[in-house]
Amino acid sequence: MKYDIAIIGSGPGGYVAAEKAAHFGFKVALVEKENLGGICLNWGCIPTKALLKSAQAYHYAVKGEEYGVEIIGEVKPNFTKIVERSRNVASMMNKGVEFLMKKNNVDVIFGKGSLTKEKTIKVESEQGEQIIEAEYIILATGAHSRQLPNLPQDGKHIIGYREAMTLDKQPETMVVVGSGAIGSEFAHFYQTIGTQVTLVEFMPTIVPNEDKEVASTLQRVFKKNGMKVYTATSVDKVEVIDNKCKVTLSGKKTEELICDVVLSAVGVETNLEGLGLENLQIANERGKVVVNEWYETNVKGVYAIGDIVHGPALAHVASKEAEVCVKHIKQLEVKPINYSNIPGCTYTTPEIASVGLTEDKAKEQGIETKVGKFMFMASGKATAAGNREGFVKVVLDKKDNKILGCSMIGDNVTEMIEEIVVARENGLTAQQLIDAVHPHPTMSEAVMEALTMALNS
């Protein structure tokens, strides 16, 4: 079986690469060992957002009287139906990718793909073994939940993100270890639908990569909603006793917690094992494949994208890398990705979105700044919606008023951050954004207001 391009992995890197390559006229094979769409579509980005939407719907029902809506009878979440809806959403999107591949005449081959010494791809499945030849190979195998020695996942008592979205029943109590996007989103989901959640973070603040004011705002909201939050705290061990988990914490003091389930959300590890990198002596370091700015490895014709290369492990990054990679193979003019301008989003309530430097990071780099912050409590749209928590905070370079970074926390801010991304990508000044008319009433007016405050600071 001979192809122009063969891709191992069908996540947001792999299937986008396949679609782009087919669009350019290449004959394409896409190898997938499990589900089209990869982790993001089937077990990550998409189904978690479905869970969070159900939690939001439940929250609005509970708070209905605040909006003048009278609820007759008891409002309660149906955990089984919430999980079922999430899986149906994932299945629908999976079918969408399947349709996209058929539409573009991409040959989808199910099985575990690995590189051979002959620079071909061996695909192993229940149907047997087959060999795929291709002029170009793109590796896009993604990542899986990281396992820590003191948190050995058993899939029942100590779980990862997969099990967290398909539990048989809703736990009464849960300890979530790690407060990055995955940990915070699951902690918020379970707390909202009635599970007593304890969130444990090793770093001094939750969502440790975000602006400190953003982190403190989210922590305050979490606590207001009844969640217990520990920072600067580590999990020493977890013991399963009588179908319960005894969690030993070390922080300001040693403490023991009893819960039904422990969710380990301490990051991900790349899927490189069994990929056959050693057969071609493909260079890798610290668990990541080494590539150039076009994602070509040290072996000519073999490329790698997504979570398995250095850079943010985000779906939208993998998709952009796929586009750059395929355009380079097609020998088109293409601009390398600006990794300093990658937006990050966390879909808690309130949501978090950020790009570029925080105020503290700018200071660490010795940059003189102007900072502006606009609180959503002064926003007409936020007030009307009943979601006034949060703010938009912008950091400008004092010498030219260009935008160094922006941090947002509030309702729907993940839909607002792109304005700043586009401005930074094109070197726009704060005044140029302010001069563009922002519609009223909208949450996005807060960007204009924060920029104005920064210029006047």
Cite the active site residues.
Answer: 440
Say how far apart CA 433 and CA 372 lie, in whole Å.
14
Distance CA 100, CA 15 (A): 9
Nearest to 121 by CA among 112, 129, 110, 113: 113
| Residue 271 and residue 144 in contact, taking contact as beta carbons nearer than 8 Å | yes
Nearest Cα to 158, choosing from 237, 79, 228? 237
Contacts with 13 (C-beta within 8 Å, 6 or more apart), sequence order: 38, 140, 142, 305, 306, 307, 318, 319, 321, 322
Q: Cα separations (Å) of 120 from 4, 28, 81, 300, 317? A: 12, 14, 45, 13, 27
DSSP letter for 278, please.
G
Q: What are the strands, taking DSSP E only, across 9-145?
A: 28-32, 107-110, 112-115, 121-125, 128-139, 143-145
Q: Which of 362, 380, 381 is nearest to 371 (CA)?
A: 362
Burial of 250 (0-12, 13-18, 19+ CB in 10 A): middle
CA dihedral 66, 72, 78, 81 (to 10 degrees): -100
Spatial CA neighbour of 16 closest among 351, 295, 283: 295
Strands 107-110, 268-270: pairing is unpaired
